[in-house]
Amino acid sequence: MFTHNIDVTHLSSPDKNGLRWDENNKSYLNINNQFIRVKKVGNNRFLLIKTVHDPKMILRLKNNMFYKENIAERLKNIMAVGLGGRKRKMALSVLKEVDGFTEASAEKLLSEYRFQEKGLFNDYAFALEIEQTGKIPPKPGT
């Protein structure tokens, strides 16, 4: 997991978050005098660059401290970005790309359902379900 053979003299001084860079603009985090390469993959998400066989790990940055991304944060990111990383902000934009939907028909369908704003199955999750399965989920209670 840790990067070996790092010449510390070729790294920058640590920034306010503890990250250091080499001449190729690769960033490293110092953990107990050992360096691990990290890559920024979002606003405050950092991927640990490890060997191929190691599981993927994402760090978050909060109050100038790194911590391992928890499952709720990971699910929220998947809901916003999807597994493929295509960021679409609204359910309407997802449905417009599904065969058979126009903007008007997508708006009509979304207006027929009641979604919880903070619930796990919100309008965006609903649209992703249709995109992935090609089927419109039944209304609750039907």
pLDDT digit string, tens, across residues 89-140: 688 888 888 888 888 999 999 999 888 766 667 888 888 888 878 888 877 6
Q: How far does the chain reach from its first CA to its final CA, in angstroms?
A: 51
Give the structural domain span for 22. Answer: 8-69
Cβ neighbours, 10 Å, residue 95: 23
* Cβ(41)–Cβ(49) below 8 Å: no
Q: Backbone phi, then psi, for 84, in 5-degree steps?
A: -85, -5
Can you tell me the distance from the alpha carbon of 95 to that of 103, in angstroms, rounded to the nearest whole number?
A: 8
138 domain-assigned? no
30 domain-assigned? yes
107 domain-assigned? yes
Q: How many domains does the chain have?
A: 2
Q: Do 20 and 57 lie in a common domain?
A: yes
Locus of tokens 């190691």: 54
Q: Do 14 and 59 lie in a common domain?
A: yes
Q: What was the pLDDT predicted at 60?
A: 92
Q: How does the average pLDDT of the chain come out, rounded? A: 81
Q: Do 51 and 103 lie in a common domain?
A: no
140 domain-assigned? no
Sign for the CA dihedral angle at 64, 66, 69, 70 comes to negative
Which among 47, 69, 91 is the end of a domain? 69
Q: In terms of pTM, does the model score above 0.95?
A: no
The DSSP letter of residue 72 is H
